[in-house]
Amino acid sequence: MYRNRTCGELNLSNVNEEVTLAGWVHKIRKMGGITFIDLRDRYGITQLSFNEEVNPDLFEKANKLGREWVIQVTGRVTERSSKNPHLPTGDIEIIVSELNVLNPSDIPPFTIEDETDGGDDVRMKYRYLDLRRNTVRKNLELRHRMALETRRYLDERHFLEVETPALIASTPEGARDFIVPSRMNPGEFYALPQSPQLLKQLLMVAGFDRYFQIVKCFRDEDLRADRQPEFTQIDCEMSFVHRDDILNMFEGLTKHLFKTIKGIELPDFPRMSYADAMKYYGSDKPDIRFDMKLVEIKDLTEGHGFGIFDASEYVGAICVEGCANYTRKQLDELTDFVKRPQIGAKGLIYVRYNEDGTIKSSVDKFYTEDDLKKWLERCQAKPGDLLLLLSGETEKTQKQLSELRLEMGSRLGLRNKFDYQCLWVVDFPLLEKDEELNRFFAKHHPFTSPKPEDIPLLDTNPAAVRANAYDIVINGVEVGGGSIRIHDSQLQKKMFSVLGFTEERAQQQFGFLMNAFRYGAPPHGGIAFGLDRFVSLFAGLDSIRDCIAFPKNNMGRDVMLNAPAPVEQEQLDELGIMLKPKK
């Protein structure tokens, strides 16, 4: 080793020891006849001291070093005269007796500090320098620990980590696959998995009983800020279980991670039906760090000549505590907020319940104070509160109210990143109708089991069938989701037929699964957590990118590696493919 100690471990108990350290020159301070250097490695920072009087040659050599040079030093640990209480090694410094330059450095394009001066693009291009920053590396250390603790927890509960193949077959259902041309089978392609869904179900058929895998998955989607073409899942499946067995097991995993990694003991997670989530939060991933539930008041608004409400399927309100004194300007801001195209409301109605008990509303023309009082009562408003109302088509308006609710939560500081509130959302609809194509799609995927009591509805009212599916939601973020699967080949066949598959197409695409179900498939179900999102939640990050070592930008590019890139003609020839001529 080029060192016998790291830069993070020395303290007063080591005084007078001779040590050898290696690392990066973090900072140089020249104070007349003494030069101090902060030497940095992954484990910390240690101050080096060079004294002109004691060793003029070494002093001169030290003064020639630059930021980010890699050096090796030997010296004696000494108590500092002016200590730094913010640094674990702040009580000591090294009086250097030997200095060895291992590698010089050009001046880096941005500062290697928690708060850097580097913009996003330059930091991504020089990601290897960006990763030197403490804040970024900490995220990856956290990721490592979360993965390790996940494995520990699941291993202790007899889960086997089984690697499933990355080169599989493409299924045109769902999101777009990345495909990989096969040289040995010209004209044929592998697909990279969007998830190991079918393979883990086959492992259940194989009697593996409890499976997990922390696994890269791939989706060729147009990227939004918080999506990556490759992402990592904690993918799990269990046999001989009912829904609650799975919820308990993975609530346990979540609690284990919070406890071991963040020292937080979480209470049991509430369970909320999808129907309630939509009704009270307008969202299938409610942020329950704060209350401010949606209240439907359509019945109270009818017949007063206010055409907008009368023509609306739904009128809903949220009660914002203590905001009756919002100014006209603030209310206008909120109106602009809900009118943004991403949200799409037509306007915003308010009712001020002033501290003095008076009531003021933007629809005073249509509603008497008594009318408005009824609204306030249903919303359990107190003097000083503000009601905000939206109206329109039910589901759309609920979603708009949800956005407004989140915005108000943020404005009022009710969404502390490090206050973690976990929730199970259950009983999702099994199917979603595409009105344009006039056919049903699986909301989760075609292997999700209906709730047993809803199976008869598959024939009579498919839209009403609830799935035996669940999501785990933390602070309004969907961290994971799963379902009890169909294990009966007849029910699976029925499901494909409801989804409009011909028998032939179902057989062609999923024949191996339906065949497998003929040989004794056990009842089973599972869940997958998005590791990237889970880590960024723990780290309090706004984007998943910062917990990924080498992320891609929103054009799917790695600007450091310059990938993707053209390949040589010879490679294409060998694969039997050609580029389409550009138009």
| Cβ 468 vs Cβ 430: under 8 Å | no
Minimum separation from the CB atom of position 547 to a second copy (A): 10
Taken as a whole, the chain contains a residue count of 583
- Using the minimum distance from each CB to a second copy, give the nearer residue, 467 or 516: 516
Residues β-bridged to residue 316: 296, 390
What residues contact 197, with CB distance under 8 A and at least 6 apart?
A: 445, 447
β-pairing verdict for 477-484 and 469-474: antiparallel
CA distance 466 to 177: 28
Task: Please spell the DSSP secondary structure of 170-225, one letter per residue.
Answer: ---SSSPPPEEE-SSSTT-EEE--S--HHHHHHHHHTT--EEEEEEEEE------T
- Using the minimum distance from each CB to a second copy, give the nearer residue, 405 or 545: 545
Minimum separation from the CB atom of position 78 to a second copy (A): 23
CA distance 233 to 223: 18
Q: Which two tokens stand for residue 1?
A: 């080793």
Minimum separation from the CB atom of position 102 to a second copy (A): 6
Task: Write the DSSP symbol of residue 466.
Answer: B
**How many Cβ atoms sit within 10 Å of the Cβ of residue 455?**
14
CA 249 to chain CA centroid, Å, is: 21
- Using the minimum distance from each CB to a second copy, give the nearer residue, 100 or 358: 100
Minimum separation from the CB atom of position 390 to a second copy (A): 36
CA distance 55 to 52: 5
Minimum separation from the CB atom of position 461 to a second copy (A): 27
Q: Which two tokens stand for residue 479?
A: 């961290």
- Using the minimum distance from each CB to a second copy, give the nearer residue, 244 or 393: 244
| Cβ 237 vs Cβ 250: under 8 Å | no
What residues contact 465, with CB distance under 8 A and at least 6 apart?
A: 429, 430, 431, 450, 451, 454, 455, 457, 458
Comparing C-alpha atoms, which of 522, 528, 541 is closest to residue 479? Answer: 528
Q: What are the φ and ψ backbone dihedral angles of 245, each rounded to 5 degrees?
A: -60, -40
Task: Write the DSSP symbol of residue 184.
Answer: S
CA 145 to chain CA centroid, Å, is: 16
| Cβ 477 vs Cβ 285: under 8 Å | yes
| Cβ 464 vs Cβ 451: under 8 Å | no
Task: Write the DSSP symbol of residue 420.
Answer: -
**How many Cβ atoms sit within 10 Å of the Cβ of residue 170?**
16
Q: 197-205 and 503-517 are packed helices; what angle lies between their axes, rounded to 10 degrees?
A: 40
Q: 394-411 and 274-281 are packed helices; what angle lies between their axes, rounded to 10 degrees?
A: 60
What residues contact 449, with CB distance under 8 A and at least 6 apart?
A: 467, 468, 483, 484, 485, 486, 487, 491, 525
- Using the minimum distance from each CB to a second copy, give the nearer residue, 230 or 276: 230
- Using the minimum distance from each CB to a second copy, give the nearer residue, 39 or 317: 39
**How many Cβ atoms sit within 10 Å of the Cβ of residue 303?**
9
- Using the minimum distance from each CB to a second copy, give the nearer residue, 353 or 510: 510
Q: Counting Cβ atoms within 10 Å, is residue 209 exposed (0-12), middle (13-18) or buried (19+)?
A: middle
CA distance 77 to 161: 46
CA 263 to chain CA centroid, Å, is: 20
